[in-house]
Chain A
Amino acid sequence: MSFQALARKTVKGVMENKLKLAVIDPFMQGGTDIPGKTKWIPIKPSTDGALVLGMMRWIFDNEKFDGKFLECPNEEAAKAIGFKSYTNATHLVIVDEKHPNNRKFLKPEDLGLEGEEFFVIDKKTGKPELNSKASAGNLLYNGEVQGKTGTIKVATSLYLLKQGVERHSIDEYAEICGISANQIAEIAKEFTSHGHKVAVDTLGGTNSVNALPFTVALWILPALMGAYNMKGGMAGNGPSFKAFADGPKYDLAAFEGQIKPSGVKISREQFHYENTTEYKNKVAQGKKPYPSKLPWHTNGMSLDGQAMFSALNKYPYQCKILVNCFANPIYGTPSLYQEAMLEELKKTSNIPLIISVDIVMGETTAYADYIVPDTSIYEQWAMVPVRANINTKMTAVRYPIIEPMTPKVGSNNQPISMETYLIEVAKKIGMPGFGDNAIKDADGKMWPLNTREDYFIKAIANMAYDGDAVNGITEEDDKITGLDSIPSDWQAAIKPDELFVVKNIIAKGGRFEADTNYHDGEFMKYGDPVKVCFYSENLANSRNSITGAYNEGAPVWTPETLADGTLVDKAYPSEEYPFRVCSSKAKLRGVSMLNNCPTLQVLSDTNYIEINASDAKELGLNDGQEVMVETPSNKAKGVLKVRQGVARGSLGISFGYGKWEYGSKDTTIDGKVITGESLRATGIASNPLALIDNSVKGKYGLSEVITGTHNRNGIRAKIVPLS
């Protein structure tokens, strides 16, 4: 996401009457309102799934999906009618409890044949056909096919999606999410009125414990219209130039002695609990295999917060060395900063060694055993790829534009940084890929990796020669930018003839393709053809490791639950906890950074607990009043801001405030006290308020079992006045 580019394009589109803008958010924030043009739809926190499924219900009821596109069972069929993506809408799924492959796609072996393909009901013959052979399939088939040993009940992916969507009426969806049925229909109608020229976007899947069906359903919406890879429709992430890859000049991906990591990630992700020894032993001993000690997130991805919970519980194995690098999971992970968790974090018997690489005493760094000072963003190297909504090829470059403030150390006289530390550790142990002869160039010559530049400048050389080579820097530009006097060890990191093109990239802050160059006729220029799945075999065949229940293969409305399936609403009834906390990103704070920037402190020194004016009136609460927000797991003080722009029943708390370290506290170094700056700690943080999941035996913050995403939005809360 690029917010300023997105904002600019949106405002332009809206002002030229080419675009309609509706903001669906419990928490209306300045910057999203274009006076007189923005429609604000105040949805209840963590009910986004109900809105999207309600829209889908309207689309099915009114048959507004692009049937011709959805009938295409393979890429060629889709291309033949002018598309560049296809879906598994027509693919047959076994829905036969007696069949050993129930919940899976019908495969040739189920019919006594060979191969790895899928089946559809051919629209021409009405008979089962391989998806590669048919040009169109039956969209909503639900019936039987003749299998190896008898008939098998099957249904298409689209049928299963529709069936799930039809579990609730539009009125019911409206009731759940707090948006009227008429309005849901209106949005759905608008969405389906532009053919494939529609798109959706979201950030972070909403971070609530029922986020998965919402996110999946949201990506399905444009697929129903055939929008993927189409000009005016959906694009994947923008493409990058080769940098750290096996590039045209240097191989920065592979090296001699390279290890392919193996084993299960400590975060309990991307692995089925049923494949663990724990599960197999329980079954062998005749015990009930469920629940597992902590939930297994079979469809999670890079779950740092869950890795922290695993480390605190020494499950499924012990974390021996935790390195926190330019990160802050204690501030960033809901429910990690709570007494019960912190007690475990302090014990070296749980995590024997914690090392933090940081520039300031962050909330996580404060719990480290050792701190490695790092370089700031303007003192370091980085190749930054484009992130969505710019669809031309680009890679931006960060380089040390100022002399690093960390001292220079070691035989290579490098400033202390993450890279310097890792090179030194690797060389001391004799690990592969670092030190002399670590990087191979395209001619087979070996180069050392002893400095940051040895690695990063080679990455820029790769970028420079990816496709057509970039021009060299002009003599005048070389001088103006000061690149004519770069240190000799920078120059020594690449071949002399590469230096002039590399300098041109550094001078311009990266390599950028013309931003008008994003499409190729009616298609997006970049992005391989995609297959959008309406039914996921992978999901449908994974289970909740606490209850043993299978997950749904297609999105259906799912209320928030604890890991054991108990409804959050039942555990913490709204009579006692009438509010739901929802988090937003403050415009004048970083995600967990920038509390130490004086300009931002002056512009907006604090945040508030923001509440709807009608809710405040009902409870007799006033603007500016100090209150305690109490949740089932924690409480925190804050100041109320009463306004219209918050959905009823919601408490808006913006992120980035309410910090308790980051230089706000006194620190003792060598017995001397360094006084903290309290201005860095103003306001209130919502993450420590998040729920602990007591249905699990270990120390575990409430999370969605399937993906491991956290309870940041939808935290049940009540307000107790303090003044």
Chain B
Amino acid sequence: MIKLKRRTFLKLSALTVGATALGLGVTGCSKETDVSIDGFPDMPETLGQEVEATVDLQSGEVKINSDILVKSSVCMGCYSSCGVRAKIDKKTGRIMKLTGNPYHPKCAEPALPYDTTIKESYQAFSLHGDKGLTHRATVCARGNSTFEQVYDPMRITTPLKRAGERGSGKWKPISWEQLIEETVEGGKIFAELGDDTVIEGFRKIHNQDELINPDSPEMGPKSNGLVWISGGSYGRINFAQRFVLNSFGSTNFYGHTGT
């Protein structure tokens, strides 16, 4: 029961700290932020999640909960790229919660010394030796929520091909093999929609020998017909650049810097 009380307190303090950090109280903020806390509300025991570990306040001894894994990653709720630690339920393989990575200088100040072991790093979430105060790692509300998009019931997990006009919202699932075949080889790929246009696929456009516009040779090879627009895929665009710029040979690789 002591554990529950402490978690209840933590929940409340998290809420109030969050409220200050979010600047609530600025004129004109929305109504749902007018939170008043009159004492401790009753919370059913089932509301709390299991903890990933317990830390003995005196000795600092860390006891890991063997049902939970804690893994490090990087947030993309905005473009700050803060370090996150994900609490993962071993049985379901699902992310339960995200917090800040105490080794990451954007999330804790000062960050935990790099040679601290992972086991010792759990102390940074406790009050043992005041580590929870000095190295507490945080992420914002967005950072806390990014994992929910992983489990979006509308998430696309199958290759799709349009089954109507562009933008009409009509699709059909296709196999991986069909996706590769049609985008690489092209052809009358929309014949089933009554469109007999021959579309060139990757194979035809990958061409360093012919010009994309013979009347304007400065425009470069036909390969420039591939235009790649990358969004916030920071840290993985190098892979796409290897393909687009250096293997396919198109100059048209874009990040989101212009918009």
Contacts and interface: CB of A to CB of B under 8 A. Distances in A.
B39 interface: no
B82 interface: yes
A27 B232 CA distance: 25
Contacts of B101: 396, 508-510
Contacts of A455: 239
Contacts, number: 517
Q: How large is the interface on B (under 10, 10 to 19, 20 to 34, 35 or more residues)?
A: 35 or more
Interface in B108-152: 109-111, 113-115, 117-119, 138-142, 144-150, 152
B36 interface: no
Interface string B216-259: 11111101111111111111101110110111111111111111
A302 B228 CA distance: 11
Contacts of B248: 259, 431
A515 B239 contact: no
Interface in A429-445: 429, 431-434
Contacts of B106: 2, 4-5, 386, 390
B218 A263 contact: yes
A392 interface: yes
B139 to A, nearest CB: 7
A277 interface: yes
Interface string A403-435: 101110110000010110110111011011110
Given A266-B227, A381-B236, A594-B146, A669 B72 contact: no
Contacts of B195: 348
A35 B25 CA distance: 10
A642 B29 CA distance: 10
Contact of A418 (B166, B239, B253): B239
A674 to B, nearest CB: 7
A267 B254 contact: yes
A33 to B, nearest CB: 6
B79 A591 contact: yes
A599 B150 contact: no
Contacts of A265: 251-252
A554 B176 CA distance: 54
Contacts of B197: 348-349, 352
Given A396-B83, A597-B148, A383 B160 contact: no
Interface string A67-92: 00000000000000000000000000
Contacts of A35: 25
Contacts of B72: 397, 401, 506-510
> Ordered nearest first, which 5 A-B pairs have the shortest CB separation?
A263-B220, A30-B23, A509-B72, A643-B28, A382-B235
11 contacts: A4-B82, A264-B224, A346-B167, A360-B154, A384-B235, A419-B239, A512-B103, A587-B141, A594-B145, A604-B33, A670-B163
A385 B21 CA distance: 26
Interface core residue of A7, A376, A471 (most chain B CB under 10 Å): A376
A446 interface: no
B4 interface: no
Given A328-B231, A610-B28, A669-B173, A515 B109 contact: yes
A30 B74 contact: no
B56 to A, nearest CB: 17
Contacts of B95: 378, 401-402
B77 A590 contact: yes
B60 interface: no
Contacts of B232: 326-327, 591, 593
Contact of B78 (A257, A311, A319, A590): A590
B200 A397 contact: no
Given A302-B255, A318-B225, A512 B114 contact: yes
A304 B73 contact: no
B13 interface: no
A307 interface: yes
A490 interface: no
Given A277-B218, A353-B200, A590 B243 contact: no
Interface string A505-522: 011111111111000000
A263 B224 contact: yes
Contacts of B240: 325, 418, 422
B73 A371 contact: no
Contacts of A348: 166, 190, 195, 197, 199
Contacts of B229: 304, 307-308, 322-325, 327, 329
A613 to B, nearest CB: 9
A101 interface: no
B166 A369 contact: yes
Interface core residue of A255, A303, A382, A513 (most chain B CB under 10 Å): A382
Contact of B94 (A317, A402, A710): A402
A377 B73 contact: yes
A624 to B, nearest CB: 11
